[in-house]
Structure 1
Amino acid sequence: MTIKVLLVDDHAVVRLGLNTLLSDEREIIIVGEAANADQAMKLVDLLKPDVVILDIQIPGKNGIEVCKSIVSQYPNSKVVMLTSHTSDEFITQAIRAGASGYVLKQVGNEELLRAIKAAYAGEMAFDTQSTTQMVKTYKKMEKEAEDSIFADISQRELQVMVLVAEGQSNKEIGKKLNLSEITIRNYVSNILSKLNFRNRIDIARFAIQHHLEEKVD
Structure 2
Amino acid sequence: MTIRVLVVDDQSMVRAGFHLLLADEPDIAVVAEASNGRDAVAQAARFRPDVILMDIRMPEMDGLEATRRILATDTAARVLVLTTFDLDDYVFEALRAGASGFVLKDDPPEQLLAAVRTIAAGEALLSPTVTRRVIRRFATVRRQSPPTAVEDLTPRELEVFRLITRGLSNAEIGAELFISDTTVKTHVTRLLQKLDLRDRAQAIVLAYQTGLFDDA
- Check whether the contact 1:88–1:134 (CA below 8 A) recurs between aligned residues: no
Match of 1:29 in 2: 29
Asked if 2 retains the 8 angstrom alpha-carbon contact of 1:32 and 1:43, the reply is yes
Q: Give the alignment's Cα RMSD to 1 decimal.
A: 1.9
Question: Partner of 1:92 in structure 2?
Answer: 92
Aligned equivalent of 2:105: 105
Maintained 8 Å contact 1:79/1:99: yes
Number of the residue aligned with 1:53: 53
Larger of the two Rg values belongs to structure: 1
Aligned to 2:131: 134
CA deviations 1:19-66 (Å, max 9, x no partner) are 111111111000011101221111111111111101011111111111
Q: Report the Cα offset of residue 137 of structure 1.
A: 4.5
The amino acid of 1:78's aligned partner reads R
TM-score, L = length of structure 2? 0.61
The whole-number CA distance in structure 1 between the counterparts of 2:33 and 2:10 is: 10
Q: How many residues align?
A: 143
TM-score with structure 1 setting the length = 0.61
Deviation readout 1:95-126 (Å, 9 max, x if unpaired):
11100110000111122112211111111014
Instruction: Please list every run of at least 4 consecutive aligned residues from structure 1 whose deviation after the TM superposition is greater than 6 angstroms.
Output: none
Stretches of structure 1 that go unaligned for 5 or more consecutive residues are: 146-208, 211-217
Q: Distance in 1 between matches of 2:137 and 2:50?
A: 34
Structure 2 equivalent of residue 124 of structure 1? 124
User: Does structure 2 retain, via aligned residues, the 8 Å contact 1:44–1:70?
Assistant: yes
The amino acid of 1:108's aligned partner reads: P
Are the aligned partners of 2:91 and 2:134 in contact in 1 as well (CA < 8 Å)?
Answer: no
Distance 1:42 1:136 in 2: 32
Question: Do the aligned partners of residues 141 and 97 (structure 1) sit closer, same or farther apart at CA in structure 2, a change above 3 Å counting?
Answer: closer
Question: Equivalent residues in 2 for 1:1-217 (5 A)?
Answer: 1-126=1-126, 131-139=128-136, 142=139
- 2-side partners of 1:110 and 1:4: how far apart? 18
Which secondary structure does the structure 2 equivalent of 1:81 belong to? strand
SS at match of 1:60: coil
Q: Which runs of 5+ in 2 are unaligned?
A: 142-214
Q: Relative to structure 1, is the Cα distance of residues 15 and 138 closer, same or farther in structure 2, using a 3 angstrom cutoff?
A: same
Between the aligned partners of 1:137 and 1:31, the Cα distance in structure 2 is 32
SS of equivalent to 2:116: helix
Higher relative contact order (CA 8 A, sep 6+): 2
Structure 2: distance between partners of 1:82 and 1:73: 21
- Compared with structure 1, are the counterparts of its residues 132 and 69 closer, same or farther at alpha carbon in structure 2 (3 Å cutoff)? same
- Cα deviation code 1:79-106 (max 9, x no counterpart): 0001111111110000111001100001
Counterpart residue identity of residue 60, structure 2: G
**Other structure's SS at 2:29 match:** strand
The SS at the match of 2:31 is: strand
- Amino-acid identity (%): 36
Change (3 A) 1:112 1:51: same
Is contact 2:45–2:70 with CA below 8 Å preserved after alignment? Answer: no
